[in-house]
Amino acid sequence: MKRKICVVTGSRADYGLLRFVMQGIKEDADLVLQVVATGMHMSPTFGLTYREIEADGFNIDAKVETLSSSDTPVGIAESMGKGLSGCAAVFRRLQPDVILVLGDRFEIFAATAAALVAKIPVAHLHGGETTIGAFDEAFRHSITKMSHFHFVAAEEYRQRVIQLGENPDNVFLVGGLGVDGVKSISLLSKDEIESSLGVKFQSKSLLVTFHPVTLEDETSEVQMKELLSALSDLSDTTLIFTMPNADTGGLVLIKMIQEFVSQNANSFAFTSLGQLRYLSCMAQVDAVIGNSSSGLIEAPTFKKGSINIGDRQLGRLQASSIINCQPEKKLIGEAIRRMYSSEFQRSLVKTINPYGEGGASARIVEILRTESLAGIVKKTFHDL
């Protein structure tokens, strides 16, 4: 009997990483792909990105509405409750053999909890990583403890998952999925991406993504003001913004970006670029700036510089192409000047991505197909 693998995706970001794993499952004669779209995928505010999944040729077996109209702590908790009950009902109907989830967001935590009480094995991707500036840190490690198979991006992360008490036999070092996207997609040329976006790049250009910082001392709004103030000095630079995630305080950041773009003719904002346009844009700009994991995971493969602001990604492995700075206008400006310096630009050719050279998707599909599920849901704590 074919093994049913149910992939739960909650955002444009995790779908971009999951896409080639999903394609591999779909094409495997011994596996059946099930797709559950939830979280930001179902929200008009975030671009109804479930349509991108369908446009890529995947059938969505279930759509679970989760997001409330509020991004307050109460609103996020309500969204988690909706995700938990919605996914529980979907899993009962689909009867999957394995749930496949990625990352650390609250909607993925809810889906994993629903699978746990339904005694469905969970395979977790990109566990063991740390992001000290966001409560995603706690969600990620909690998902690890509720999961049964672990696909990690680096040896350091493998060791951390084992440190959390997971059986080493079920922790697989496969590399970073973001690298697969860069290596597998036929990217748009500069002319094509300019035409698609309706943007003409100036001699300088930056891709900007800044997400809410849920555990830092300064609010996301204060930090965004500092970033936008620094960017306002770059009149000779095309600024491509992608909108932030649906986290606590995210809506005010969206409004701030929209206001900034309306007042700066060199700036453009997009709710969701989709994987093809996002990576194509990354390939053409001078650098990535903000606090998105893509600046650490995908950008080094392009040998592009990244300016990582604040502590949201603190703890992740970093390539030499990353410039870290605190969310202050002066420090951000200094980081931008350093990034454009001849010395730093020459150093980029030597960039080595700590998340590997690709192939993670194929390795994951093979393990999903061949690993035994017998007795897997009854875990024991592995002591070091």
- Which tens digits make up the pLDDT trace of 29-73? 999 999 999 988 988 887 888 999 999 999 999 999 988 777 788
Question: Angle 250-19-61 (CA atoms, 0-180°, nearest 5)?
Answer: 85
Q: Confidence band (pLDDT; 50, 70, 90) for 219?
A: confident
Q: How far apart are CA 374 and CA 381, in angstroms?
A: 17
Residue 82: which H helix or E strand, with range?
Answer: helix 73-94
CB-based contacts of 36: which residues, under 8 Å, 6+ apart? 6, 7, 8, 9, 60, 61, 62, 63, 64, 87, 90, 94, 111
Q: What is the C-alpha radius of gyration for the chain, rounded to an integer number of angstroms?
A: 20
Q: pLDDT for 253-280, tens place per residue?
A: 899 999 999 999 999 999 888 889 999 9
134: pLDDT strictly greater than 70? no
Residue 138 has pLDDT above 70, yes or no: yes
What whole-number distance in Å separates Cα of residue 171 and Cα of residue 82? 30
- The neighbouring-strand residues paired with 371 are none
pLDDT at residue 132 is higher than 80: no
| Whole-angstrom distance, CA of residue 293 vs CA of residue 215 | 16
What is residue 104's three-state secondary structure? coil
Whether the CB-CB separation of 278 and 243 falls below 8 Å is answered with: no
- β-partners of residue 323 are 307
Which tokens is 311 given? 């502590």
CA atoms within 13 A on the CB side of 120: 28
Task: Write down all domains in the chain, each with its CATH number in brackets.
Answer: 3-175+359-370 (3.40.50.2000), 184-350 (3.40.50.2000)
| % of the chain beyond a pLDDT of 70 | 97
- If one compares 271 and 217, the residue with the highest pLDDT of the two is 271
